[in-house]
Amino acid sequence: MNTVARSWLQGTAVALALTLGACTGSNTETSDTAPDSSGAPVVVLKTSSGVIEIELFEEKSPESVKNFLQYVDDGFYDGTLFHRVIPDFMVQGGGYNGDRTRKETRPPIKNEADNGLKNENGTVAMARTSAPDSATAQFFINVKDNSFLDHTAPTREGYGYAVFGRIITGMDVIETIENSPTKSAGGAFANLPETEVLIESATRK
């Protein structure tokens, strides 16, 4: 585990999503732990860096997928930032407007990290605080295999981070974002890209 990831786990946590690793630049359509994806919903993120498509694991993560799709359908993610970018770890977004104001969310959802899915390179998981059932709208994209984020026990320390999808198009875009120079702007913006990276729109495919 790298030093940045370790410090995040130990509680420098206004940052609401721990999971992102070293993006290899390869697509992840063939992840060993991914469920059968026939007929799975897909969300298209049009970002200022390019287009990303996320396949959602509705059978394995029904509450997380329902929650994410509701935010998508409501237009919640349109104009939000990828505000936390840590190379060889993760890319996080979905909670702050372009002016860095925090968006109001619906109540948090149940943590589904015990669904058997792993925080592998290219998977998408719910961000949260240190409380297991605290995820709302923010999500992160793993850029390497981050097994230390997986469910290991039904405890506060062991519950893990719920995977609910995977990138099927646009890992090159994620790599571009991952390699963006960052700056510290305090609080949740300790790893903020120097050049703004926006989700311009999020829609169902």
Mean pLDDT of 161-189: 97
**How does pLDDT run across 96-111, given as a tens digit for each residue?**
999 999 999 999 999 9
pLDDT band with cut points at 50, 70 and 90 for residue 9: very low
**How does pLDDT run across 148-160, given as a tens digit for each residue?**
999 999 999 999 9
- Residue 114 confidence (pLDDT): 98
**How does pLDDT run across 46-87, given as a tens digit for each residue?**
999 999 999 999 999 999 999 999 999 999 999 999 999 999
- Residue 16 confidence (pLDDT): 36
Question: pTM of the entire structure?
Answer: 0.84
Q: DSSP secondary structure string, the chain?
A: --HHHHHHHTT-TTS-----B---S---TT-TTPPP-TT--EEEEEETTEEEEEEE-TTT-HHHHHHHHHHHHTTTTTTEEEEEEETTBEEEEEEEETTSPBPP-PPP----GGGS----TTEEEE---SSTT---S-EEEESS--GGGS--SSSTTT----EEEEEEE-HHHHHHHHTS-EE--SGGGTTEESS--EEEEEEE-
pLDDT band with cut points at 50, 70 and 90 for residue 21: very low
Lowest mean pLDDT among 23-27, 162-166, 188-192: 23-27
**How does pLDDT run across 22-57, given as a tens digit for each residue?**
222 333 343 445 666 669 999 999 999 999 999 999
Cα gap 95→113, rounded to integer Å: 20
Q: Output 11 or 199, whichever has higher pLDDT.
A: 199
Whole-number average pLDDT of the chain: 87
pLDDT band with cut points at 50, 70 and 90 for residue 15: very low
* Dihedral, 123, 128, 130, 131 alpha carbons, nearest 10: -110
Q: State which CATH number among 1.25.40.20, 3.40.50.280, 2.40.100.10, 3.20.10.10 fits the domain covering 3-7+16-23+41-204.
A: 2.40.100.10
Mean pLDDT of 3-8: 46
